[in-house]
Amino acid sequence: MLERDSPTPLYEQVEALIKKNILNKTWPKGKKIPTETELMKKFGVSRGTLKRAISNLQKNGYLVQRQGLGTFVQADIEIPLERGLYSFAEYFQAHHIDYSNKILSAKIPKKTSKDIADKLGITITDKYLCLRRLREVEGENIMLIENNINIANAPHIETADFSKESLFSIIERYSKETVEYSETKYSAVGANSEVSSYFNIKKGAPILYQEQLVHLSNNSIIEFARVWIKSNHFTLKTILHRK
């Protein structure tokens, strides 16, 4: 199995064998791989050798480690469109996917553009909160999120800690209404300079772009979101019934 007299280091040979199991779907996407102890016994290598191989496969997007659960073959993050409205954060929490938010900015702009005013149903003299965040999922930057929030419908929401809680939960607490529905559209676009630098991809590389207008239970508009999504791990899924 391993060529111990080969000039190729053992960790690279182990890495190649694990990668082969992934590519030939012996270990399909989303599958939990054997434990470190099992793999050390299988390959006859030390823990340090195995850890180096696993680390390289994680860096290259083949494997992902989930705290308390083990190591898994990287799977597409599948967003089921037919299952109702929930935030990406709520989806990640429900599927035990490790994520974190970096707040890039949270401010009330001095001027309100006509485009944002029209989307939120306010005037250019009204104020809104512009929240920009970078979302990391299992060690990889995959989302740049811009949330434009109508603060008239959620007084004092600018004081919330957006790094600790899902946006929809915060909105519902400050607005005292429930998030009712959204109007959402997706498109394929080329990454601009800012997005490419955050995602570590080439400028112009294809990404997924989302626009979403969120309504409360009283039918008022609370948020207009723009989201740039690194598309290599995302798929959109829906089930349609013929009438």
HSE value, Cβ hemisphere, 13 Å, CA-based, for 72: 17
Report, at the CATH architecture level, how domain 10-73 is classified: Orthogonal Bundle (1.10)
- Residues 22 and 62 sit within 8 Å (Cβ to Cβ): yes
**Rounded distance, CA 113 to CA 122, Å?**
10
DSSP 8-class letter at 184: E
Start-end ranges of CATH 3.40.1410.10 in the chain? 77-237
Assign 68 a pLDDT band (cuts: 50, 70, 90).
confident
| pLDDT interval class at 23 (50, 70, 90) | confident
Residue 241: per-residue pLDDT: 66
Binning pLDDT at 50, 70 and 90, where does residue 171 land? very high
What the block records as the tokens of 41 is: 């016994």
Query: pTM of the predicted model, to two decimals?
Result: 0.67
Is pLDDT above 70 for 97?
A: no
CA separation for the pair 146, 130 (Å, rounded):
7
Say what the pLDDT of residue 96 is.
63
Residues of the chain with CATH 1.10.10.10: 10-73
What is the model's pLDDT at position 64?
82
pLDDT tens-digit series, residues 115-148: 999 999 999 999 999 999 998 876 788 899 999 9
Q: Is the pLDDT of residue 187 over 80?
A: yes
Q: What is the pLDDT of residue 216?
A: 96
Average pLDDT over residues 57-81: 76
% of the chain at pLDDT higher than 70: 85
CA–CA gap between residue 39 and residue 75 (Å, rounded): 21
| ∠ Cα 188 143 230 (to 5°) | 45
Rg (CA), the chain: 22
Backbone φ and ψ for 7, nearest 5 degrees, come out as -70, -15
**What's the CATH code, domain 77-237?**
3.40.1410.10
Q: Which of 82-91, 214-223, 232-241 has the lowest mean pLDDT?
A: 82-91
Mean pLDDT value across the chain = 87
Cα dihedral value 130, 136, 100, 86, nearest 10: 70
Per-residue pLDDT at 101 = 84
Q: What angle do CA 212, 217, 223 make, to 5 degrees?
A: 30
Three-class SS state of 39: helix
Alpha carbon distance 212, 167 (integer Å)? 13
